Amino acid sequence: MSNLPLALRELLARETVIALPQIVKRYRSGDGTVRYVLALPAAHASAEGQAAKSATVEAVFMPEENRQTICISTQAGCAVDCHFCLTATLGLIRNLSAAEIIGQVLIALEENRASLKPQTNVVLMGQGEPLLNYEPVMAALRILLDPNGMAITPKHTTLSTSGIIPGIERLGGEKVRPKLAISLNASSNEQRDKIMPINRKYPIEDLLEACMRYPLRPWEHLTFEYVLLGGFNDAPEDARRVAKLLATLRAKVNLIPWNPGELPYKKPDAAGIEEFRRILEDKGVRAFVRYSRGQDVMAACGQLALLESAAASPFEQISPAQ
């Protein structure tokens, strides 16, 4: 760019970087899902003025018949400490910059260029609590959702939160925003306190009030995610309580059977899962069972913790130079 003044070129060379995250490893699941382990060099973070240490995060590419879904991380690790989530075991390493968040989408699309379907869904459900890294997440979303940017539609983009009320309120005021999903996972405060310590700060009744006030667009509904932890929150009375909690909201529930990982919860049984769903539906709450993709390569919900996966085959490791 020799038409720029020399001093500006020198400043740009010194202080900016144009690069994608580097793929350290790819794990391919039998169901087509690919989990990418991505190295984020220290320099990426300096533009946002955060601690510029290097970090490693994960993104997951899930191909389907007519679309692909890309699950991205917004922080390296996470401070929220949900007890069913392996990412929590890492603690918060650092926030990602907008470039690092967008870079995960770009790299997943680039890697799978030969087989892309017309529709791309992006879900902010990887490592981190997006609403605790608000500015970079919104900067990334504005580029993702801009028709002159990556042109992904708001209907195909979902931000998932553990229930950070100030962030939900702020998001509701944004001109450009994704759909909102809330990780509920319990039918009472007593239960939610045990698995999501954030509930002590933002208890269920306050969270649902914030949801009531949230300005849904005409086509939009809220999604509540409910990880079914066998023997803990999957009883019929839990389903009845959840139905009561959500009765007045324009909402649907995604039931996610617990992915057996390294944490001490049981896999819920199939009949119990179906009964839970049926109780919600009978009480007028739309409910779907979502089986996580990529379980064999530790790419499923709550499993992103940079773990090696014995079952992952084939396993590829590439050098940073590639």
Q: Which residues bind ligand SF4 (CB under 6 A)?
A: 78, 80-82, 85, 87-88, 127-129, 162, 183
Cα-Cα-Cα-Cα dihedral sign, residues 80, 86, 90, 95: negative
Q: Least Å distance between CB 75 and ligand SF4?
A: 8
Tell the residue number behind the tokens 């870079």, with chain if given: 103
Whether 254 contacts 227, CB under 8 Å = no
Is 10 considered catalytic here?
Answer: no
Q: Least Å distance between CB 300 and ligand SF4?
A: 12
Q: Which is nearer to ligand SF4, 182 or 279 (CB)?
A: 182
Beta-carbon count within 10 A of 189 CB: 14
Q: Which is nearer to ligand SF4, 60 or 243 (CB)?
A: 60
Whether 265 contacts 84, CB under 8 Å = yes
Q: Least Å distance between CB 126 and ligand SF4?
A: 8
Q: Least Å distance between CB 149 and ligand SF4?
A: 26
Whether 171 contacts 163, CB under 8 Å = no
Tell the residue number behind the tokens 């890309």, with chain if given: 70
Q: Which is nearer to ligand SF4, 90 or 245 (CB)?
A: 90
Q: Which is nearer to ligand SF4, 77 or 243 (CB)?
A: 77
Q: Least Å distance between CB 285 and ligand SF4?
A: 22
Residue by residue, DSSP assigns 207-272 as HHHHHHHS---TT--EEEEEEE-BTTT-SHHHHHHHHHHHTTSSEEEEEEE----SSS-BPPPHHH
User: What distance in Å separates the CA atoms of residue 62 and residue 67, rounded to the nearest whole number?
Assistant: 9
R_g (Cα) of the chain, nearest Å: 20
Catalytic choice (10, 15, 58, 205): 58
Q: What is the maximum alpha-carbon separation in the chain?
A: 70
Is 301 considered catalytic here?
Answer: yes
Beta-carbon count within 10 A of 5 CB: 8
Q: Which is nearer to ligand SF4, 81 or 281 (CB)?
A: 81
What are the φ/ψ torsions at residue 60 (nearest 5 degrees)?
-130, 130
Catalytic choice (15, 129, 301, 316): 301
Q: Which is nearer to ligand SF4, 240 or 290 (CB)?
A: 290
Residue numbers annotated as active site: 58, 301
